[in-house]
């Protein structure tokens, strides 16, 4: 059987639908009002006292601990390690002997070269003495020839020969190592000097066979064992001054301009228990890329001497960029923005009064407020502003925005 809508039936259906829509709308409004009332009541009940506290604003970074003064001990000669006089962890002084190389063969070479050097030296000195005697003889001979020539006792040719003999004797005494054809004295001189250089080289090699610490510090690594053969420039030891440490860290490009040399830092780490103080001693002049980030390297000097901190430990640093002591302070979310002003909502009984404040230093939890109308112990509303889902609108009397800055 086919159902047929009459005009009366249609009117009834429309009325029922209208009543339903009106009832639903009314219920939604009642629920929204209830939520707003509940939110306002909760907000009124969420109060905290204004307190007096010290506040620090910090920038966090982390890096590696390094010794300011550290040295890799190299050998300038090759040889067999005959003796190691220190172990890792030993304290050493600058120029302290820490290892030796075998030198028996070297000493024998030195003895032979010393003998050769003395021979070459004596040969040169004797040749020089002979040349000086020859010059004196030629000088006297020329004087005699000049006297004889004055009384016509000798010819002009004999006088000239005496003068040339003196010039030759004088030239023999001069040492010019750049001469294309060296004199006999120059040859002996060059032989003597080469022998001297060879002997000095052997002496230097003997000195290099005694390994010394270049700095005061602690031996942090021993890379050799006795009887090892080492080549020149081999890395034998590592020594570091562990009483003077620093942290090499980086900060982001957007934070670095807040830092200054001399700023203090609190140093902590997972590898050590104590808290330590540090001071920024250097900020790099140029930024570098670290993955997708642009960072700037900084150096933080550790102000404390301790055996707990070790090179290559990871250290965390909270750098203090601003601080205040004994400040009026409230939680961060107790300060809201209204018309560009920082507002704190003071509760007195059932009355909530918005008070304009200036803000100062802030940390992760609290912010400094400056106002003649607020005192320690006053109750202020704390809690994030609620938007459309919570009933309170951002632009209402208690509307908020970004937190107040310094």
Element (H, E) at 324: strand 314-331
Q: What is the pLDDT of residues 320-354, one digit of tens each?
A: 999 999 999 999 999 999 999 999 999 998 899 99
Average pLDDT estimate for 140-163: 89
The first and second tokens of residue 245, run together, are: 């440490």
pLDDT at 400: 35
pLDDT category of residue 9 using cuts at 50, 70 and 90: low
Task: Name the domain count of the chain.
Answer: 3
Q: Is there a domain that residue 183 lies in?
A: yes
pLDDT at 14: 67
Residues 396 and 343: their CA atoms lie apart, in Å, by 13
Same domain, 225 and 203: no
Counting every residue written for the chain, the total comes to 406
For the beta carbon of residue 55, count every other beta carbon within 10 angstroms.
Answer: 19
Q: What is the pLDDT of residues 41-94, one digit of tens each?
A: 555 558 999 999 999 999 999 999 999 999 999 999 999 999 999 999 999 999
Same domain, 232 and 246: no
pLDDT category of residue 17 using cuts at 50, 70 and 90: low
Q: Is there a domain that residue 282 lies in?
A: yes
Q: What is the pLDDT of residues 266-306, one digit of tens each?
A: 999 999 999 999 999 999 999 999 889 999 999 999 998 88
Give the number of C-alpha atoms closer than 13 A to the C-alpha of residue 106, restricted to the C-beta side.
Answer: 20
pLDDT category of residue 36 using cuts at 50, 70 and 90: low
Same domain, 193 and 217: no
Helices (DSSP H) in 102-182: which residue ranges? 104-150, 156-173
The first and second tokens of residue 218, run together, are: 């602690």
pLDDT of residue 377 exceeding 70, the answer is yes
CATH code (residue 86): 2.40.50.100
Domain with 251, as residue range(s), is 60-67+241-324
Q: Is there a domain that residue 363 lies in?
A: no
Give the number of C-alpha atoms closer than 13 A to the C-alpha of residue 231, restricted to the C-beta side.
Answer: 0
For 40, phi then psi, to 5°, come to -65, -40
Same domain, 143 and 282: no
pLDDT at 305: 83
Same domain, 199 and 235: no
Q: Which residues contact 403 (CB under 8 A, 6 or more apart)?
A: 332, 335, 337, 359, 362, 367
Q: Is there a domain that residue 45 lies in?
A: no
pLDDT of residue 37 exceeding 80, the answer is no
More confident residue, 26 or 169: 169
Among 291, 324, 357, the domain boundary falls at 324
Average pLDDT estimate for 149-178: 85
Same domain, 117 and 156: yes
pLDDT at 396: 35
Among 302, 324, 346, the domain boundary falls at 324
Can you tell me which residue has the tokens 């001069």?
174
Residue 62: closest CA among 317, 406, 348, 352: 317
Q: Is there a domain that residue 16 lies in?
A: no
Q: Using an 8 Å Cβ cutoff, are 192 and 124 in contact?
A: yes
Same domain, 90 and 224: yes
Q: Is there a domain that residue 41 lies in?
A: no
pLDDT category of residue 398 using cuts at 50, 70 and 90: very low
More confident residue, 216 or 9: 216
Q: Is there a domain that residue 342 lies in?
A: no
Q: What is the pLDDT of residues 183-193, one digit of tens each?
A: 888 889 999 99
**Alpha-carbon separation of residue 204 from 108, 114, 215 (angstroms):** 15, 14, 20
Residues 273 and 58: their CA atoms lie apart, in Å, by 21
Task: Map 144-159 to HEC letters.
Answer: HHHHHHHCCCCCHHHH
Among 324, 342, 369, the domain boundary falls at 324
Same domain, 225 and 262: no
Q: Is there a domain that residue 308 lies in?
A: yes
Mean pLDDT taken over the chain? 86
Q: Using an 8 Å Cβ cutoff, are 294 and 253 in contact?
A: yes
Residue 288: closest CA among 315, 250, 345: 250
């Amino acid at each position: 059987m086919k159902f047929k809508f009459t005009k009366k039936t249609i009117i009834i259906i429309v009325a029922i639908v209208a009543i339903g829509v009106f009832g639903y709308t009314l219920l939604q409004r009642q629920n929204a009002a209830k939520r707003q009332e509940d939110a306002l009541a909760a907000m009124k009940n969420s109060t905290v006292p204004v307190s007096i506290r010290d506040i620090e604003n910090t920038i966090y970074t982390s890096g590696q601990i390094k010794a300011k003064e550290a040295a890799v001990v190299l050998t300038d000669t090759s040889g067999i390690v005959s003796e190691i006089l220190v172990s890792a962890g030993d304290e050493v002084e600058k120029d302290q002997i820490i290892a030796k190389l075998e030198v028996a063969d070297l000493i024998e070479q030195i003895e032979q070269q010393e003998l050769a050097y003395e021979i070459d030296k004596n040969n040169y000195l004797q040749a020089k003495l002979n040349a000086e005697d020859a010059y004196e003889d030629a000088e006297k001979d020329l004087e005699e020839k000049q006297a004889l020539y004055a009384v016509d006792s000798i010819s002009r040719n004999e006088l000239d020969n005496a003068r040339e003999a003196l010039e030759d004797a004088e030239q023999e005494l001069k040492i010019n190592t750049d001469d294309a054809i060296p004199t006999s004295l120059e040859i002996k001189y060059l032989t003597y000097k080469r022998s001297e250089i060879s002997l000095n080289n052997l002496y230097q090699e003997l000195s290099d066979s005694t390994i010394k610490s270049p700095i005061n510090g602690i031996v942090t690594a021993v890379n050799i064992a006795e009887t090892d053969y080492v080549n020149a420039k081999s890395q034998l030891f590592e020594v570091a001054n562990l009483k003077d440490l620093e942290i090499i860290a980086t900060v982001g490009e957007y934070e670095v301009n807040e830092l200054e040399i001399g700023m203090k830092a609190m140093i902590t780490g997972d590898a050590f228990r104590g808290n330590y103080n540090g001071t920024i001693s250097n900020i790099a002049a140029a930024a570098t890329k670290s993955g997708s980030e642009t960072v700037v390297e900084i150096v933080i000097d550790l102000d404390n001497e301790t055996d707990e901190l070790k090179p290559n430990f990871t250290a965390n640093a909270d750098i203090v960029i601003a601080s205040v002591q004994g400040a009026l302070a409230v939680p961060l979310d107790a300060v809201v923005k209204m018309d560009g002003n920082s507002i704190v909502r003071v509760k007195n009984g059932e009355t909530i009064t918005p008070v304009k404040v200036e803000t100062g230093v802030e940390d992760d939890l609290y912010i400094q407020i400056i106002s003649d109308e607020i005192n320690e112990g006053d109750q202020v509303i704390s809690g994030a502003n609620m938007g459309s889902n919570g009933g309170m609108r951002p632009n209402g009397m208690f509307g908020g925005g970004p937190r107040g800055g310094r």
